Chain A
């Protein structure tokens, strides 16, 4: 009898921590964890004008985390880890509770143009158009702010977006100078996008954008953009065939004493063609004026501005939706700097794991 009691007490003592652990664990349910994904980009470049060894390099790893917060908000974030540091590229909350209006607030990618809305791994060519880095930023205009996108009552998709942002001075990522300390310096954005179904398979999209604020000297600084995209996705082979014809023009300028100065402008036209489920090819022609890029430098290696023309061609192998390898060649000419021409061959590898929804159409 005494032994039985001892056995029971011993068993209870042994089990108690286990039960407590089980109860403690259930307090921290992971069922409502957000969807998580990661994209990793690697590249290699052979460019004779660049003083760097040819070889493979790690470009960035982008961690995406998204979840519904409550019945009113969804939180989206993209954190980029790159060799030069960590950038909370996008961290914004979205509300879809207002009829016809989508509200975004936080650190957002301003709805300006077409290319500026793309994440790096979704660029159609390895190199962003030169005009991007000279007008709104190589990866678009990224800033803290609030945007409202109104889906108008017109019978086709017609969206009018307005946004206001934090005043931010020009730097490597933000070529636009919105650095004035004036109280009325609230940079604002306007974007008008219309999309039409031309046929069962082909669509046309037309966009106009404007972004404006005050620079450190107090004068208005602005960017303007227009884009036109034709896209074909045959319904019977949506995962095997199709093409995209796209053109975009961007301009950056400032006004002083009533005179507008066009500081930089340019554009590109590109054509991408899907040969099969796994093969894409593309060509692009572009021009950027009063612009600088990595090979347009003076004798001392300092960047200078000039007119740059560049042609690119690439081929991509996409064995699945979650990875691709791209090979790209570009030839460029500049009317300034010590290198009148530039030729380079690049390779890029992209891998995505976890949750990753389709990119915007």
Chain B
């Protein structure tokens, strides 16, 4: 018995001293891409999870009570910002009953801060243009460069909340940026032959990728954001594509594949399913493998060698 008490006295301080090692920052995000960046930047000090799955439309995440429960004890919440999650986050965040991650606190992060936002509406904003985002196009995570901005931002936030590991967060963010720069060079070379090529996308969530790699956006399968295409519009778009020689229709796993394939079929083009979010398709487990797969699928389809169905 005495030896038990003695060993308790010996081990207790050791256990207490090591306790902070288990005190990871629990990070929750709106999007899988943000969770991937948060995990890279946070390393062993952070456990990151996304509420929206990669194969789920980030505009329409059902505000399930289980999502509220899953972030009840989070230390940080990273929102995509620019109102991409504006339909469901106003229910999920208060429902979590977690004061640490409410807007206005240190634990709430708007990941769009510092990003060069494209397609900011000029003049009056009207839903006559469909379900547009008044603060600009929120799909900035489709540009690898923007994720570098997010990584830097998250390193600052994590350092503020966990100063003991600030050096690790800064080093991880730097490593992320270096890896992204190296990868960008590789992706840039793969996409270089297709600069100036026109493509059609289902929704305007390819704008940042196209801007980065020099693709031209010819149109969208949706006549307006959030509005499903009518047969008449599908015909019109296909005819226009034929005349302009547009050969690729790009869509995400959560969009209507039938409409995309119908447009491609009528235009004599190829429909390519791609993941613009991490986890959208097999083999897209982090932001690097996502862009690897995305660039590879597009380059293959644009070269006419692989990808999609004609």
Chain B interface category by residue count: 35 or more
Cα-based distance from A320 to B127 in the complex (angstroms):
10
Cα-based distance from A96 to B99 in the complex (angstroms):
6
The residue that A357 contacts in the complex, of B68, B90, B131, with Cβ under 8 A, is: B90
Residues of A within 8 A of B254 (CB): 235-239
Check: B24 CB closer than 8 A to any chain A CB.
Answer: no
Check: A65 CB closer than 8 A to any chain B CB.
Answer: no
Residues of A within 8 A of B72 (CB): 100, 151
The residue that A97 contacts in the complex, of B61, B91, B99, B130, with Cβ under 8 A, is: B99
Number of residues of chain A lying within 8 A (CB) of chain B: 42
Query: Are A239 and B94 in touch, CB under 8 angstroms?
Result: no
With contact pairs A157-B68, A277-B228, A321-B131 given, residues A361 and B59 touching in the complex (Cβ less than 8 Å) = no
Stretch at the interface among B49-57, B160-168, B173-181: B49-57
Query: Are A278 and B228 in touch, CB under 8 angstroms?
Result: yes
Query: Are A358 and B56 in touch, CB under 8 angstroms?
Result: no
Cα-based distance from A357 to B94 in the complex (angstroms):
13
Check: A46 CB closer than 8 A to any chain B CB.
Answer: no
If A353-B127, A357-B90 are given as contacts, then 11 extra A-B residue pairs at C-beta distance below 8 Å, sorted by A number, are A68-B103, A96-B93, A100-B97, A237-B254, A239-B59, A239-B254, A320-B130, A320-B131, A320-B227, A358-B87, A358-B88
Residues of A participating in the B interface, judged by any CB pair closer than 8 Å: 68, 71, 74, 94, 96-102, 149, 151, 156-157, 159, 193, 195-197, 203, 205, 231, 233, 235-240, 276-278, 319-322, 353, 357-358, 360-361
Cα-based distance from A240 to B62 in the complex (angstroms):
12
B-side binding surface: helix, strand, loop or mixed? loop
The residue that B104 contacts in the complex, of A68, A195, A239, A361, with Cβ under 8 A, is: A68
Cα-based distance from A238 to B63 in the complex (angstroms):
11
Query: Are A94 and B94 in touch, CB under 8 angstroms?
Result: yes
Of chain A, the residue at the smallest CB distance from B86 is A357
Cα-based distance from A71 to B95 in the complex (angstroms):
17
In the complex, how many angstroms separate the beta carbon of A12 from the nearest chain B beta carbon?
35
With contact pairs A203-B66, A321-B226, A358-B63 given, residues A238 and B91 touching in the complex (Cβ less than 8 Å) = no
With contact pairs A235-B56, A319-B227, A357-B91 given, residues A195 and B98 touching in the complex (Cβ less than 8 Å) = no
Residues of B within 8 A of A233 (CB): 62
Cα-based distance from A321 to B103 in the complex (angstroms):
25
- 11 residue pairs from A and B, CB less than 8 Å apart: A68-B103, A96-B97, A96-B98, A151-B95, A156-B66, A156-B69, A235-B56, A236-B56, A239-B60, A320-B127, A357-B88
Cα-based distance from A233 to B66 in the complex (angstroms):
14
Residues of B within 8 A of A321 (CB): 87, 131, 226
Query: Are A357 and B87 in touch, CB under 8 angstroms?
Result: yes
Cα-based distance from A101 to B91 in the complex (angstroms):
15
Contact with A along B74-116 (1 / 0, CB 8 A): 0000000000001110110111111100111000000000000
Contact with A along B30-65 (1 / 0, CB 8 A): 000000000000000000000001011101111111
With contact pairs A197-B64, A235-B53, A238-B62 given, residues A74 and B87 touching in the complex (Cβ less than 8 Å) = no
Of chain B, the residue at the smallest CB distance from A238 is B60
Residues of A within 8 A of B68 (CB): 151, 157
| Shortest 3 CB-CB contacts between residues of A and residues of B | A157-B65, A195-B65, A157-B69
Residues of B within 8 A of A71 (CB): 104
In the complex, how many angstroms separate the beta carbon of B234 from the nearest chain A beta carbon?
14
Of chain B, the residue at the smallest CB distance from A322 is B127
Cα-based distance from A322 to B227 in the complex (angstroms):
11
Contact with A along B292-306 (1 / 0, CB 8 A): 000000000000000
Check: B253 CB closer than 8 A to any chain A CB.
Answer: yes
With contact pairs A235-B55, A358-B91 given, residues A197 and B66 touching in the complex (Cβ less than 8 Å) = yes
Cα-based distance from A278 to B93 in the complex (angstroms):
28
Check: B182 CB closer than 8 A to any chain A CB.
Answer: no
Residues of B within 8 A of A360 (CB): 63, 91
Residues of A within 8 A of B53 (CB): 235
The residue that B226 contacts in the complex, of A205, A237, A238, A320, with Cβ under 8 A, is: A320
Query: Are B102 and A96 in touch, CB under 8 angstroms?
Result: yes
Query: Are A159 and B127 in touch, CB under 8 angstroms?
Result: no
In the complex, how many angstroms separate the beta carbon of A230 from the nearest chain B beta carbon?
13
Cα-based distance from A101 to B131 in the complex (angstroms):
34
